[in-house]
Amino acid sequence: MDKETQIPKKARIADIARLADVGTATVDRVLNGRARVRAATRQRVVQAKTAIENGTNVVTRNKPWRLKVFLPGKAGPSTEYLAQCFQEFGARGNAIIECVFTTKMEPASLARKLRACEGQRIDAVALQALEDQRVRDAVDHLKMRKIPCLSLISSLANSSVLGFVGTDSRAAGRTAGLLIGRLCQSSGLVVIISGGQFYRSHENREMGFRAVVRKEFPHLDLADTISGQDDIEGNYNVICKFIEEHPNLVGIYSVGGGNEGIVRALHHKNVAREVKLIGHNLTAKTQAYLLEGSMDYVLHQNMRLAAELAVEAMISALEQRTGNIPILPVEIITRENILGTTFG
């Protein structure tokens, strides 16, 4: 279409097929459940149907942009909610968005899936990046094939990504350091629990946290960082072991996921009230932990806004529009200001 065209609100099979870039028989199978259809294809058909029925305008293209988003699998409710937000924005009609969950903490797998986009008619990619040369090489490879990549939530240093959507992780870590220092008035040991070495956001949070605690709270000792691989059971095991070996523990900063395991360990060792805990991302579970007193603060980033900014950034790059991507604010959530706060 050379001009802006208003698609009829009645979703005809032919219109859906054109927008979703599939055959009419495939649309029929999806709408009527006549046979099994790949999840990604079903996703495109449903999004195209929603866009038509919402009366979405499609400008300058005869079909939506094809965007692919790579997120870590089994990473917790905040990541699942982020994927849901991407699907909702895909229903606007100017993009078909496919979310793919990759094996967590496996850069080789992520790199392979990125390279595979070259043969899938994908226009742009967003990824929660793992800090690994194989991932950088895959991003550079896609750029050479005119498929721009955007880093999401965790940035990718020294790469050809078109930009980054997320918070200032160093500032988030410094905020956590300030909060833990104010919470822990008596001397003792503070530990950081991380997801591992692959997330640059975790590394930056840790650096910011350590800088503030060392400078402003000399009564607190900083232990070496421990890792539970962003896993509930992994976090439970390492925290239980740490408490047994360090009875002077007074505070924990969780830079990643798996907070359920940390809280369970604190209760199991009967120190949930004594040991202060700060973590990231408001979810139904972390909200409950705040209310019961198992967590003291949650540093939150708006996942709905992250998805919206990511989609806009990818489409802007494809349409050769310039503009800066704003940094997401770091929100400090306590049990006293949860009312009215959304998980998004």
Cα gap 70→154, rounded to integer Å: 12
Report how many helices (DSSP H) and strands (DSSP E) the chain contains, helices first. Answer: 12, 14
The pair of three-digit structure tokens given for residue 142, joined into one six-digit string:
């896609």
Q: Where are the beta strands (DSSP E) in the chain?
A: 5-6, 57-58, 65-72, 95-102, 124-127, 149-152, 164-165, 188-194, 220-222, 226-227, 249-254, 276-280, 297-300, 331-333
Closest C-alpha among 75, 312, 305, 308 to residue 167: 305
What's the confidence (pLDDT) of residue 37?
Answer: 84
| 308 and 294 inside one domain | no
| 52 and 80 inside one domain | no
Taking all residues of the chain, what is their mean pLDDT, rounded to a whole number? 91
Q: Does position 4 have pLDDT exceeding 50, yes or no?
A: no
| 153 and 239 inside one domain | no
- Which tens digit of pLDDT belongs to each residue from 320-336? 888 899 999 999 999 99
Cα separation values, 43 from 9, 20, 37, 130, Å: 19, 9, 10, 26
Confidence of residue 337 (pLDDT cuts 50, 70, 90): very high
**Residue 135 belongs to some domain of the structure:** yes
What's the confidence (pLDDT) of residue 58?
Answer: 44
Angle, alpha carbons 253-259-264 (nearest 5°): 110
- Which tens digit of pLDDT belongs to each residue from 27-67? 988 988 877 888 778 877 887 887 787 765 444 456 789 99
Confidence of residue 1 (pLDDT cuts 50, 70, 90): very low
What's the confidence (pLDDT) of residue 2?
Answer: 40
User: Element (H or E) spanning 170, and its range?
Assistant: helix 169-183
- Which tens digit of pLDDT belongs to each residue from 94-112? 789 999 999 989 999 999 9
Q: What is the CATH number of the domain that holds 241?
A: 3.40.50.2300
Cα gap 226→91, rounded to integer Å: 41
Q: How far apart are the first and last CA of the chain?
A: 35
| 210 and 280 inside one domain | yes
| 159 and 179 inside one domain | no
Closest C-alpha among 189, 336, 179 to residue 271: 189
Q: Containing domain of residue 254, as a range?
A: 169-300
Closest C-alpha among 262, 336, 314 to residue 148: 314
| 68 and 34 inside one domain | no
Bigger pLDDT: 92 or 123? Answer: 123
**Residue 336 belongs to some domain of the structure:** no
Q: How many CB atoms lie within 10 A of CB 321?
A: 10
| 160 and 98 inside one domain | yes
**Residue 197 belongs to some domain of the structure:** yes
| 283 and 201 inside one domain | yes
What's the confidence (pLDDT) of residue 232?
Answer: 95
| 209 and 266 inside one domain | yes
- Which tens digit of pLDDT belongs to each residue from 65-84? 999 999 999 888 999 999 99
**Residue 343 belongs to some domain of the structure:** no
Percent of the chain with pLDDT over 70: 94
**Residue 342 belongs to some domain of the structure:** no
What's the confidence (pLDDT) of residue 190?
Answer: 99
Beta bridge partner(s), residue 102: 72
Task: Name the 3-class secondary structure at 131.
Answer: coil
Q: What is the CA radius of gyration of the chain?
A: 22
Q: Does position 134 have pLDDT exceeding 80, yes or no?
A: yes
Q: What is the CATH number of the domain that holds 4?
A: 1.10.260.40
- Which tens digit of pLDDT belongs to each residue from 171-203? 999 999 999 999 999 999 999 999 878 999 999
Q: How many distinct structural domains can be found in the chain?
A: 3
Q: Mean per-residue pLDDT for 141-147?
A: 97
Beta bridge partner(s), residue 222: 190
Cα separation values, 88 from 61, 94, 157, 318, 330, Å: 21, 12, 29, 20, 23
| 146 and 97 inside one domain | yes
| 296 and 174 inside one domain | yes
| 39 and 97 inside one domain | no
